[in-house]
Amino acid sequence: MIKFPYRRKTERKLYLRSYPKGWLIFVLTLGAASLICALLQRITSSDVHVPMIFVLAVLIVSLSTDGYFYGLLAAIVSVIGVNYAFTYPYMKLDFSVYGYPLTFMTMLAVGFACSTLASHLRMQEQLRLETEREHMRANLLRALSHDLRTPLTSISGSITTVLDADEALSPDMKRELLAGAKRDAEWLCRMVENLLSVTRISGENSSLIKNDELLEEVLSEAVQRFRKRPDAVPVSVSVPEQAQLLPMDAMLIEQVLMNLMDNAVTHGGSVTQIWIDATAENDYVTVSVRDNGDGIPKALLPSLFSFRWPRRTHDGTCCQSAAGGCGISAAPFLYSF
């Protein structure tokens, strides 16, 4: 199941990105803290709450922005603002106020500590993402070696047989061998498309550019590509009546849909029909792919998107694991970008 946000949601996102995020957080947070303190000042004569509110504001700015600049700047501006607007004598700077140096150092320490913590958390998250990508690359290489070996051996064997035993083979046998080699070559093309798609978006400097695409055209293109398979089955497509213009990378989404339909035919058992349904729900359009095959045994679900699957026997049970391919395993990776 694939979910696409509506175009209006993307427009809001792009609109917010046109402004410096750090400055926006800085101004809004300190402005909110100042407003709260001004309202409380009308209710109570005590100003004990003022430093705590601004310390909280410094904490929010530090955790919500990148680097140390905004957190330290928020600490300095908060100390000066508290001294000027919320400490007697009001609307006047007085650095001789009792406890002012301690308040100043406390807010600077909070800003520095929170900024450091936020930077470390972002660094750890980045390392985790890089580790996952490296793991994906390693798995793809293992799957590639497995997927290439069998069809290449079959293609080489079929062509060698036709060349070496040309006179001993009947036209029907030649046609059968060459048709098998053609099917293996087409399968290799689809597998290489998966690999190239994953490689294109998994580089260090890769960036996915989403354009507004008509959902009906993307689904139609994926179905037309699928129907070129020799063993393709009928595909029924259902879309909302209103045209859906959605932000996506059309090539990658087509590849995801192709992978799902290919695997339905290859591993679904007695599949004779595939349905692609698109439904509009709130701010998203959901696209689902289903078939009338034997279904997926529960034992396969935990490792469905891994590169090693338990073998499925004729009665639907599973035995020892075997290396899987990169088609269905690449689908969630492609969609996650």
Residues 112 and 226 in one domain: no
For 63-119, how does the pLDDT look when each residue is reduced to its tens digit (9 = 90+)? 888 777 888 888 888 888 887 888 777 788 777 767 667 777 777 777 778 778 877
Given 103, 129, 155, the domain boundary residue is: 129
Number of domains in the chain: 2
Q: Encoding tokens for residue 122?
A: 């972002």
Q: How far is CA 186 from CA 143, 154, 155, 193, in A?
A: 17, 13, 11, 11
pLDDT, mean over the chain: 76
Final residue of a structural domain among 66, 97, 129: 129
Do 99 and 216 reside in the same domain of the chain?
A: no
| 299 Cβ neighbours under 8 A, 6+ residues apart | 310, 317, 318
In a domain, 202, yes or no: no
Rounded to 10 degrees, the C-alpha dihedral 92/94/95/97 comes to -130
* All residues at 6 or more sequence positions from 29 whose CB lies less than 8 Å from its CB, including other chains: 57, 60, 61, 64, 74
pTM here is 0.47
- More confident of the two residues 127 and 266: 127
CA 233 to chain centre: 30
Token pair 């932000």 is found at 247
Domain boundary among the residues 129, 148, 165 is at 129
Within-domain flag for 93: yes
Q: Note whether residue 171 is domain-resident.
A: no
CATH number at residue 221: 3.30.565.10
Range of the domain at 70: 15-129
Do the domain assignments include residue 318? yes
The predicted structure's pLDDT at residue 324 = 45
* Torsion, Cα of 177, 179, 185, 187 (10° steps): -120
228 lies in the same domain as 335? yes
- Per DSSP, the three-state class of 228 is coil
- 32 in any annotated domain: yes
Residue 185: inside a domain: no
pLDDT in tens, 21-63: 888 999 999 999 999 988 988 888 777 788 888 888 888 888 8
